[in-house]
Structure 1
Amino acid sequence: MKEEIRILFTAIMFYTRIPCPSWVDHNEHYISRSIRYFPLIGWLVGAVVAVSFLLGDWLISPLTGIVFSLIASVLMTGAFHEDGFADVCDGFGGGWTKEKILEIMKDSRVGTYGVVGLALIFLLKISLLLQLVSLVGEFVLLATFVGAHAVSRFIASTVVFTHPYVRDNDNSKAKPVARQSGKFNLILAGVFGVLPVILLSLMTENYSLLGTIPLLYLVKMGLARYFTKWIGGYTGDCLGAVQQVTETAFYLFLLVIWKFTL
């Protein structure tokens, strides 16, 4: 039990900016196993995002609440996944060989492709969330936040089990995660990732929402296939990009399903 608690705290430390006890460190043994709690971190982030939306909505308007929710997500994770998404935009947008793509993604500076990519994905999230709150109301949107952050992290974590890791240098922050394997980690991550979507379906009595899970997996497979074509697998930045894209796709798929089934 103590070891499992340490793995959980390691996940919180690795995937968020939440302060952890001093005895939690960047031990690769625990980081590699912490992926099982990656979707559970989505529950935590989603809950804070939901509260932030309520605050902004109560103070000013739903649009302000949505912006507050995005700010809360970035602050909670230290823009961990957004940074990966921006690096992927820069790398695949500006590189034409595997070596060049990896070199660009390794650069800490953000280029034009990264800035444009972040701007567009944030605008798309705002647009979709505005439509969702007008269509299904605030209460359902709160549950949607938790579901989006949990299932997108689960989908991102499956890349580790289905595709090869391509960086060989020891400086990569994602290397300990990439080394992990084991069906137990995948199953537990799946439970934490899928359960909020199941609960959302039960709460709204719209079981068509469960169809978002295979759709998101198809999105992931498309992205992973693209990554593999150009660089032979994935990097930590690619995982961040998959999380961001599938989170946004979840809002999109929900909106389409609710629009035609409500």
Structure 2
Amino acid sequence: MRQQLRLFFTALAFLTRIPCGALASGESEDFARAAKFFPLVGLVVGMLTALVYAAAHLAFPQEIAVLAAMAASLWITGAFHEDGLADAADGLGGGWTKEQTLAIMQDSRLGSYGAIALFLMLVAKFQTLSYLDPRQVPLALIAGHALSRLAPVLLMRAQDYVRATGKGRAFSAKPNASEWLLATVFGLAPLALLPGREALAALALLPVWLWFSRLLKRKLGGYTGDCLGAMQQLCELAFYLGLLGLS
């Protein structure tokens, strides 16, 4: 149990700004096995953002509460996944070859494709959450953050890491069957909070995951850390859109 807690805090320290101190591990072997807790980290992020939304909605209209929840998410994670989305969009949009694409992704400067992708993602999340029933939003945030962090774990299981170095290299080991199963349980469990058929919104992730996974396979032959962040962002939005479509 102590080992599993260390792996969870390792994942929490990597994906968020939440201070974990000595609870997190710095061992490469622990990094490689911590990805199974990504959806559980998403559950923590989702619960915190849902609390911010609920508190803000006591005094302000839904749109302001949604903005507060989104800002909280960005602060908690340090915009980690959004940065991955922007870098992946720059590389995949501007690179003609695998080498060009990887080089552009590694460039710290924000390009046109990245800026547009980031702007559209934030606006789409804001609009979608604002159109949901106010009572749906906290549960949507909890389920959406957990479920969308399962998608990168599935990508890690299905494809190979394509860089020789990089921040994502530490998590490049393929999750084994038991780790994949545990991540799936953590990712899908919050769907039980949703009433009626709303849990079916999770199906909206499937075409998005398949499309982006195929794109990465064709252009890169695998994934990078930025691609994992982009996958999380795309699947989070897909879940919110699925909920809205079912409303």
TM-score (norm 1): 0.90
After superposition, where does 1:220-231 map in structure 2 within 5 Å?
220-231=209-220
Tell me the secondary structure at the aligned position of residue 210 of structure 2.
helix
**Residue equivalent to 2:119:** 119
Question: Matched residues in 2 for 1:124 and 1:181: separation?
Answer: 31
1:113-142 Cα deviation digits (max 9, x unpaired): 11111111111111101111xxx333x321
Structure 1 residue 175, shift from structure 2 partner:
1.0
1:141-179 Cα deviation digits (max 9, x unpaired): 21111000000001221000111221123xx11112111
1:137 paired to 2:126: no
1:4-40 Cα deviation digits (max 9, x unpaired): 1111111111111100133534321111111111001
After superposition, where does 1:181-196 map in structure 2 within 5 Å?
181-196=175-190
1:14–1:31 CA contact under 8 A, matched in 2:
no
**One-letter amino acid of the counterpart of residue 189, structure 2:** L
1:158 paired to 2:147: no
After superposition, where does 1:1-262 map in structure 2 within 5 Å?
1-22=1-22, 24-132=24-132, 136-138=133-135, 140-169=136-165, 172-200=166-194, 204=195, 206-207=196-197, 209-258=198-247
Question: Matched residues in 1 for 2:173 and 2:31: separation?
Answer: 10
Report how many residues are paired: 247
TM-score (norm 2): 0.96
Question: Matched residues in 1 for 2:65 and 2:45: separation?
Answer: 15
Tell me the secondary structure at the aligned position of residue 174 of structure 1.
helix
Question: Matched residues in 2 for 1:107 and 1:117: separation?
Answer: 16
Structure 1 residue 111, shift from structure 2 partner:
1.2
1:39-87 Cα deviation digits (max 9, x unpaired): 0111110011111112322232211111111111111111110000000
1:155–1:217 CA contact under 8 A, matched in 2:
no
Question: Matched residues in 1 for 2:21 and 2:202: separation?
Answer: 35
CA RMSD of aligned residues (A): 1.3
Gaps of 5+ in 1: none
Question: Matched residues in 2 for 1:4 and 1:23: separation?
Answer: 11
Structure 1 residue 232, shift from structure 2 partner:
1.0
Once the two structures are aligned, what percentage of the paired residues are identical?
37
**One-letter amino acid of the counterpart of residue 226, structure 2:** D
Tell me the secondary structure at the aligned position of residue 167 of structure 2.
coil
Question: Matched residues in 2 for 1:23 and 1:131: separation?
Answer: 40
1:98–1:230 CA contact under 8 A, matched in 2:
yes
**One-letter amino acid of the counterpart of residue 184, structure 1:** S
Question: Matched residues in 2 for 1:255 and 1:23: separation?
Answer: 39
2:10–2:23 CA contact under 8 A, matched in 1:
no
2:33–2:173 CA contact under 8 A, matched in 1:
no
Question: Matched residues in 2 for 1:88 and 1:23: separation?
Answer: 31
